[in-house]
């Protein structure tokens, strides 16, 4: 294994360098969405996000339109970032496993 690849793998696996979901959501949004979606987009009266479910749907929809191929974790991270910083919708509680 080339040394550079080994260093990269160790760095990515390091807990100190791991991104939390809110940080990842902010980075993804900043890199891929803010170009077209300024803050005014989210505060307009005609906004399509009216609750947690519709917000997540719009994140999923637009990442698909942009062909970003985000994982479900990425979609969730961006949804959480938008909800924490702008919308403040109640979030569904995770269901307990039986």
pLDDT in tens for each of the 98 residues of the chain? 554 433 344 444 444 445 666 699 999 999 988 777 665 555 556 778 999 999 999 999 999 999 999 999 999 999 999 999 989 999 988 777 66
Instruction: Report whether 80 contacts 21 (CB < 8 A).
Output: yes
Question: pTM here?
Answer: 0.69
What is the per-residue pLDDT for 82? 92
How far is Cα 77 from Cα 64, in angstroms, rounded to an integer?
15
The residue extents of the domains of the chain are 19-87
Instruction: Report whether 75 contacts 59 (CB < 8 A).
Output: yes
């Amino acid at each position: 294994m080339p040394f550079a690849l080994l260093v990269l793998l160790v760095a990515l696996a390091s807990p100190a360098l791991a991104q939390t979901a809110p940080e990842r959501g902010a980075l993804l949004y900043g890199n891929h969405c803010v170009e077209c979606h300024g803050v005014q987009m989210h505060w307009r009266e005609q906004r399509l996000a009216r609750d947690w479910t519709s917000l997540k749907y719009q994140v999923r929809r637009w990442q698909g339109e942009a062909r970003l191929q985000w994982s479900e974790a990425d979609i969730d991270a961006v949804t959480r970032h938008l909800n924490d910083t702008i919308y403040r919708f109640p979030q569904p509680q995770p269901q307990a496993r039986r």
